[in-house]
């Protein structure tokens, strides 16, 4: 329906597997103006008006009629606020997501059937646990457990107390709960008020106790109700044996031939040499992903290993980084190429055809790309941070990838040199690939961990 990053991957997969396990999971998101919305049928199941200070917005709750995603999908339609090109990034994002949260709760309290648990995700829904506990309007929801899942603690949804009147009426003796660092901090409010807090990897939970963009103290205070649950991947979508986006399907028993055929197609498309090791990057070209390091690291690696390696970049983000990466095409044509933008089919082909995947992230709460690459027999080269540390172990420690400790050009190039040396030892290379392909990162396992958390907080009712 809508996707910007890993949050969409989780919300698009976890409820499907929860339903497969015998539970009833429903998903509620804003009604974004996307191709999915235009191409599918919806029925209106509720309508009402959101009061936001002196503003009144009409809203409708639309249900996708076929449950084609594997769960019931409900869209909160507020045309004035969400009928736009992008998911977020607008000056009125506070008004947009606050109205979404209020409309969602207005709809829920009008239903005959109450949920057992409400699982909120990131700051965009961080005020829901507070409103459930303290808003006069939602007293019916006070004893329903809430959980907040943190995908990225860098973004917190702060706004000033001049917008306090947007919130439905509540006892002002609780106003201190909304405050963090002299403003209303949506993520902090959710962390304080939710019955349970989860992060998308165990190591990220450890990291945010020391580095969380100003919320370190709070995370330490709520550690007793927190749990790190490593994300999974949808193994039905990401399966090299059945993936329709690949030129040649393969499994763990014949990956050497299959990967080479996909690599040859990929290299033909981008004027690269399939006999050389192919290093790839897939993702957002941002500083938090180490994207700013890529132009210098790529240039240095290619100059130190002249005509011995290929590098292919797929991504978009910071315009300066995009321009720097494109400028390398002048000097390294035949060994280097870029695709600025995003293309799902191309991403699948790169996971299948590349030898290595670069992930020099400064921040990576979980990371899914390294799990996709492992499943497709492509060896991840990662910085030890967040979920990358939980999922990738250096091959020197009998692991499944290549790891370094710093987000630096030097560390990236040193890891690339190790990868070049490893590429010469095909037997060892293939054993590492096989180990990665056999790693279980399925949602079936992850689903059960979430169910455990739900059951624990339901028992407290």
Query: Residues within the annotated binding site for ADP-alpha-D-glucose?
Result: 3
> What is the Cα 358 distance to its own chain's centre?
17
Kindly list the distances between the CA atom of residue 320 and the CA atoms of 192, 324, 361, in Å, as whole numbers in the listed order.
Answer: 38, 6, 18
- Between CA 41 and CA 297 the distance in angstroms is 47
Strand 72-77 relative to strand 55-64: parallel, antiparallel, unpaired? antiparallel
- Between CA 412 and CA 294 the distance in angstroms is 9
- Between CA 73 and CA 29 the distance in angstroms is 8
Kindly list the distances between the CA atom of residue 167 and the CA atoms of 137, 370, 415, in Å, as whole numbers in the listed order.
Answer: 11, 40, 51
Query: Cβ(282)–Cβ(369) under 8 Å?
Result: yes
Residue among 165, 164, 194 nearest 179 (CA): 164
Tokens of 442: 């399925």
Residue 115 has what DSSP assignment? P
Residue ranges of the annotated binding site are 3
- Between CA 360 and CA 284 the distance in angstroms is 12
- Between CA 123 and CA 141 the distance in angstroms is 20
- Between CA 215 and CA 222 the distance in angstroms is 11
């Amino acid at each position: 329906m809508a996707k910007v990053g890993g949050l969409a991957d989780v919300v698009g997969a976890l409820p499907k597997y929860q339903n497969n396990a015998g539970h009833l999971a429903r998903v509620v998101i804003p009604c974004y103006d996307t191709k999915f919305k235009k191409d599918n049928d919806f029925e209106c199941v509720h309508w009402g008006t959101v009061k936001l200070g002196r503003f009144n917005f009409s809203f409708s709750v639309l249900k996708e009629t076929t449950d084609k995603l594997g769960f019931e999908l409900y869209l909160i339609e507020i045309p004035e606020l969400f009928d736009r090109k992008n998911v977020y990034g607008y000056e009125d994002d506070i008004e947009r997501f606050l109205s979404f949260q209020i409309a969602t709760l207005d709809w829920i309290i009008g239903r005959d059937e109450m949920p057992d648990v409400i699982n909120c995700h990131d700051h965009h829904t961080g005020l829901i646990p507070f409103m459930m506990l303290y808003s006069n309007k939602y007293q019916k929801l006070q004893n329903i457990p809430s959980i907040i899942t943190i995908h990225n603690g860098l973004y917190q949804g702060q706004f000033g107390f001049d917008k306090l009147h947007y919130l439905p009426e509540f006892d002002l003796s609780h106003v201190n709960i909304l405050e963090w660092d002299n403003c209303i901090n949506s993520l902090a409010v959710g962390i304080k008020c939710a019955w349970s807090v989860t992060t998308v990897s165990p190591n990220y939970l450890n990291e945010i106790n020391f580095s969380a963009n100003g919320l370190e103290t709070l995370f330490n205070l709520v550690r007793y109700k927190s749990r790190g649950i490593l994300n999974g991947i949808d193994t039905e979508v990401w399966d090299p044996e059945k993936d329709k986006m690949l030129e040649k399907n393969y499994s763990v028993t014949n990956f050497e031939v299959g990967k080479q055929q996909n690599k040859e197609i990929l290299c033909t498309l981008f004027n690269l040499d399939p006999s050389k090791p192919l290093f790839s990057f897939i993702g957002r070209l941002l500083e938090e992903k180490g994207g700013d390091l890529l132009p210098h690291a790529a240039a240095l690696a290619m100059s130190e290993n002249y005509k011995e390696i290929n590098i292919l970049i797929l991504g978009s983000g910071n315009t300066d980084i995009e321009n720097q990466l494109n400028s390398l095409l002048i000097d390294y044509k035949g060994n280097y190429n870029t695709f600025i933008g995003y293309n799902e089919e191309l991403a699948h082909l790169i996971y299948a055809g590349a030898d290595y995947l670069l992930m020099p992230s400064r921040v990576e709460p979980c990371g899914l790309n390294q799990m996709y690459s492992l499943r497709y027999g492509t060896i991840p080269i990662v910085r030890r941070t967040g979920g990358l540390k939980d999922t990738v172990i250096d091959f020197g420690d009998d692991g499944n990838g290549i790891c370094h400790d710093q987000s630096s050009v030097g560390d990236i190039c040193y890891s690339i040199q190790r990868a070049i040396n490893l590429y010469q030892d095909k037997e060892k290379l293939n054993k590492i690939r096989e180990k990665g392909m056999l790693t279980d990162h399925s949602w079936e396992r992850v689903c059960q961990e979430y169910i455990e958390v739900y059951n624990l907080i339901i028992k407290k009712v």
